[in-house]
């Protein structure tokens, strides 16, 4: 494992992304962490480089991708923020797909992306259908190693309140004693740890899909 890795993080101000950024800051395997998006992350570390970009137009600064080994994509939206379904699709499907294809052009080794439990391009629910479409497009992007993480409801402090997520957390607490681990809520910090564990493992080329229970197991392996 090289101790001079460079990472690109997309979605670094979100729930999983903000946890992942902190881990990348602290991990000595990375000499540079590029965060691309509209909003600069809250970081004072010299190795963190903010690269402003409009992610929905598919035109990304070249400087974000050059010599990057690991690309982490934690982007996503909500129906409240993006009520128009086409605009929603542009974010949840278009951004990860375009990031992955650009990563392939610049010879990134690993592409690690957050999806959702139940993701399927055949789903009746547009959220899960979009996640499934995203996965299919990422898989054919050309990046050698694709790591897909499918967490259930995320636990953690968000900047905005999400009623549906709050209901899911309460329900998860009530049913945790009999609900299969795959369908239980999971800490956003554990998703971040699992992503970094897989990146640093330098897995063989191919596609790996990790469900919530597997993500939680991976997170226990994380050691800085």
Distance of CA 200 to the CA centre of its chain: 15
Phi, psi of 221, rounded to the nearest 5 degrees: -85, -10
> How far is residue 133's CA from residue 185's CA, in Å, rounded to a whole number?
23
Q: Which residues contact 188 (CB under 8 A, 6 or more apart)?
A: 15, 16, 19, 151, 154, 155, 156
Return the pLDDT at 78.
82
Helix (H/G/I), strand (E/B), else coil: 134 = helix
Low-confidence ranges of the chain (pLDDT < 50): 1, 161, 163-164, 166-168, 170-171, 174
Asked whether 207 and 139 are in contact (CB, 8 A), the reply is yes
Return the pLDDT at 178.
53
pTM of the model: 0.89
Question: What pLDDT, in 10s, does the model give residues 55-65?
Answer: 999 899 999 99
Where are the strands (E) in the chain, listed by range? 5-10, 30-37, 48-52, 70-73, 110-114, 145-150, 154-155, 186-187, 206-211
Structure tokens at 22: 């902190």
Question: What pLDDT, in 10s, does the model give residues 132-167?
Answer: 999 999 999 999 999 999 999 898 665 554 544 544
Residue reference for tokens 């063989």: 204
| pLDDT > 70: percent of the chain | 86
Return the pLDDT at 3.
64
> How far is residue 113's CA from residue 93's CA, in Å, rounded to a whole number?
11
Where are the strands (E) in 133-224, listed by range? 145-150, 154-155, 186-187, 206-211
Return the pLDDT at 156.
64
Return the pLDDT at 77.
85
Where do the structural domains in the chain lie, given as residue ranges? 5-219
Gyration radius of the chain over CA positions:
16
Return the pLDDT at 129.
96
What fold, for 5-219?
Answer: Rossmann fold (3.40.50)
Return the pLDDT at 7.
98
């Amino acid at each position: 494992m090289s101790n001079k890795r460079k990472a690109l993080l997309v979605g670094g101000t979100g729930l999983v992304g903000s946890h992942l950024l902190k881990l990348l800051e602290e991990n000595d395997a990375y000499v540079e962490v590029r965060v691309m998006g509209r909003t600069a992350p809250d970081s004072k570390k010299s190795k963190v480089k903010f690269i402003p970009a409009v992610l929905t137009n598919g035109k990304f600064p070249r400087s974000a991708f050059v010599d990057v080994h690991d690309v982490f994509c934690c982007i996503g939206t909500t129906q409240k923020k993006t009520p128009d379904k086409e605009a929603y699709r542009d974010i949840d499907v278009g951004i990860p797909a375009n990031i992955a294809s650009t990563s392939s052009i610049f010879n990134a080794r690993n592409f690690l992306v957050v999806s959702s439990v139940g993701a399927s391009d055949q789903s009746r629910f547009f959220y899960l259908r979009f996640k499934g479409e995203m996965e299919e497009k990422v898989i054919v992007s050309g990046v050698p190693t694709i790591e897909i993480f499918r967490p259930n409801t995320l636990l953690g402090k968000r900047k905005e309140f999400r009623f549906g997520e709050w209901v899911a957390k309460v329900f998860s607490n009530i049913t945790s004693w009999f609900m299969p681990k795959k369908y239980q809520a999971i800490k956003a910090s554990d998703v971040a740890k699992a992503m970094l564990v897989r990146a640093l493992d330098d897995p063989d080329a191919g596609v790996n899909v990790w469900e919530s229970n597997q993500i939680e197991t991976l997170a226990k392996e994380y050691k800085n």
